[in-house]
Structure 1
Amino acid sequence: MARYEVTFETRFSAKHALRHYRGRTEPPHRHCFRVAVIVSAARLDRSGMAIDFLDLEKAVSAEVARLRGRYLNAEVPEFLAGRRSPSAENMAAVIFRRLEKALPKAVRLERVTIGEARGCSAACVR
């Protein structure tokens, strides 16, 4: 049975320092991260959509707002006190877990991808 996929992409700037990177914590530095979120649905609603782009944008933007302009190591709870290193993989996982709870039941979160530099990205997938 066919499924429909919908993608929303955005960007945000934030600073991070990977922990345990080659034996130490690297110096803090900033990136303009790219975020791509893919959801799927088995059926379309009466208007012919899996999810309204505006609704998906609102949900993703709320999660990105928690990270935008922050020093992730010191200002985002999931990365505080050495809980986990703020790698692209871990950022994707944090957004995935939180976004999965915020989306309507009619859609299924499939993938959250974080791009750190041109041609370099990591994803958390279902």
Structure 2
Amino acid sequence: MSKIRITKEFSFETAHALHGYDGKCKNIHGHSYKLSVTVIGKPIDDLTHVKCGMVIDFGDLKKIVKSEVVDVWDHAIILNKNTPHLHLAKQLKELGNNVVLVDYQPTSEKMIEDFAHRISTQLPNHIQLHSLQLRETETAYATWYAEDQV
């Protein structure tokens, strides 16, 4: 039986700031992110299995990505906890804002690495994460491929 890739798309709104950056992105600003998640596996061929013919139920993939990424990052402010933004994060939290502190500069490149780890650790053993695409704007995106992670 052949391996099949399936993709599910997600969207979420997130703000971030790039401490130390030499352009406008050093300021808190937001994006309407689009995340495409592609997994690979063999469709279930057991005719008695309720998921027969599926690599993974799109609903099951949605639950994983929502809990690991969308529900955490949607309408949140992402800041690097190893910068002076930590003081700002504390103030924002005290004002009732959803703040997520990360161990890296919250660029699309680093975010997609984080998402790949979060998602891949939750997938069933017979399914592998194949690729992710994180679209920050209509014309700018980062792509992660499992095959590149050697």
Query: TM-score if structure 2 supplies the norm length?
Result: 0.74
* Deviation of the 1:23 alpha carbon: 7.7
Matches within 5 A, 1:33-48: 33-41=33-41, 43-45=42-44, 46=46, 47-48=52-53
Q: Secondary structure at the match of 1:6?
A: strand
Partner of 1:11: 11
Q: Which amino acid aligns with 1:26?
A: K
Are the counterparts in 2 of residues 93 and 112 from structure 1 also a CA contact under 8 Å? no
- SS of 1:105's equivalent in the other structure is coil
Cα distance in 1, alignment partners of residues 24 and 139 from structure 2: 25
Q: Secondary structure at the match of 1:103?
A: coil
Alignment of 1:61 with 2:66, yes or no, is yes
What letter corresponds to residue 69 of structure 1 in structure 2?
H
Q: Which amino acid aligns with 1:104?
A: P
CA contact (8 A) 1:19 1:26 kept: yes
Per-residue deviation, 1:116: 0.5
The alignment of Structure 1 onto Structure 2 pairs a total of residues equal to: 121
CA contact (8 A) 2:109 2:142 kept: yes
Change (3 A) 1:125 1:19: farther
Question: Which of the pair has more CA radius of gyration?
Answer: 2
One-letter amino acid of the structure 2 residue matched with residue 33 of structure 1: Y
Structure 1 segments unaligned to the other structure (5+ residues): none
Identity %: 29
Residue by residue over 1:28-85, the C-alpha shift from the partner in whole angstroms, topping out at 9 and shown as x without a partner, is 00111001101001x21131111110000110111211101110114224x2xxx311
Runs of 5+ consecutive residues of structure 2 not aligned to the other structure: 47-51, 80-88, 90-98
Superposed counterparts of 1:26-105, under 5 Å: 26-41=26-41, 43-45=42-44, 46=46, 47-63=52-68, 64-73=70-79, 74=89, 75-77=99-101, 79=102, 83-105=103-125
Aligned Cα RMSD in Å?
1.8
Q: Secondary structure at the match of 2:104?
A: coil
Could you tell me how far apart the structure 2 residues matched to 1:27 and 1:58 are? 32
